[in-house]
Amino acid sequence: MNRTVIGMMSSYVGLNPCSIDWLWNQAKQPFGQWDRIQILANAERPDFMLMYNFHDFPQVPQRHWNPLKNQRRQKQFIDLQTALEAKRRGVPPERTLFLWREPPLAEIVHKNIATYNQAKPYCHYISGPDDHAPQPDYMPAIWYVNNTFAELEQMPPPPKVKPCSWITSGIDRTANHRTRLAFLQLIHESDLDCDFYGRGLPTWAKASAINNKWYGMAPYYYNLSIENYADNDWYVSEKLWDSLLSWCLPIYYGGSAADKLLPPGSFLRLPSLDEKGLQYIREVTATPDAWYEAKDAIAEARQIILHKLNLVNWLAEYVAKF
């Protein structure tokens, strides 16, 4: 059976150049296969191209009074165009998809809009989790627990030995980031039994760095899944998928997208990032009762993530329309 090959290009540092096995752990068949498609990120001549959080589009240079500078700028522009065409590997715009993952935070929304516009000459389908995107939509699910698809699909709940964890980062570029860090400090200074994991966090957080999120979630009944953006109907990120795939009951702070995508009872709503929110977490995590009550809903949500929301399945459904 002939398979449709999907290549990928991205501006994510960790994916550039893209490794051939990107997303293979999310595919239900070997070598990144899902039904009639195969993910081969660096395939030489793919049938479709996925631009995934790609923002390295050539910018038309502004003219300068100095002719030599104009020549240099024009040459740089042409070089960037040539490099982009090489990355596109001959895939036409009608078979190129652009998926953006950045939330429309007030400080960066203008950059998101500019990127959507820059993608238009190269892509037929341009989507992002905000109303400014040409095709507003939820982000197809990716996750950062490094278990195989088969393991995640078939595993029972792992042993739960601790109440609660939070995996986050020390990024503080926006007001929303700083609110999250202030809540982290509030929890740290309380008597709440919660373990912190992540990179770039302040030293007072006493957080541990981990390479596989599974180890910071699977042994815990509850996980704090706190988005950097919670103000529209589209944005929901891997924070929720990672938690559920690790068989945690997420205590979730985010927008309404999660309510539309997941079954009722599969996560709890954190009311706020303040003393009220802290008290809510304290009451829930005092016993594992809520986790036991939610176990069936968590199991259902996991299968929805793996089979329906999964980016690989999303790509298979998109290609099937051609």
Count of structural domains within the chain: 2
Residue 69: predicted pLDDT: 77
| Dist CA 241 CA 302 (whole Å) | 8
pTM, two decimal places: 0.94
| Dist CA 159 CA 161 (whole Å) | 6
184 and 87 within one domain? no
135 and 13 within one domain? yes
| Dist CA 253 CA 278 (whole Å) | 12
Q: Please give the residue range of the domain that contains residue 255.
A: 149-307
Rg (CA), the chain: 21
| Residue pLDDT, tens place only, 255-300 | 999 999 999 999 999 999 999 999 999 999 999 999 999 999 999 9
Give me the percent of the chain exceeding a pLDDT of 70: 98
303 and 159 within one domain? yes
206 and 62 within one domain? no
207 and 66 within one domain? no
pLDDT tops 70 at residue 1? no
Phi and psi for 135 in degrees, rounded to 5?
Answer: -125, 85
286 and 192 within one domain? yes
127 and 154 within one domain? no
Residue matched to tokens 């609660």? 164
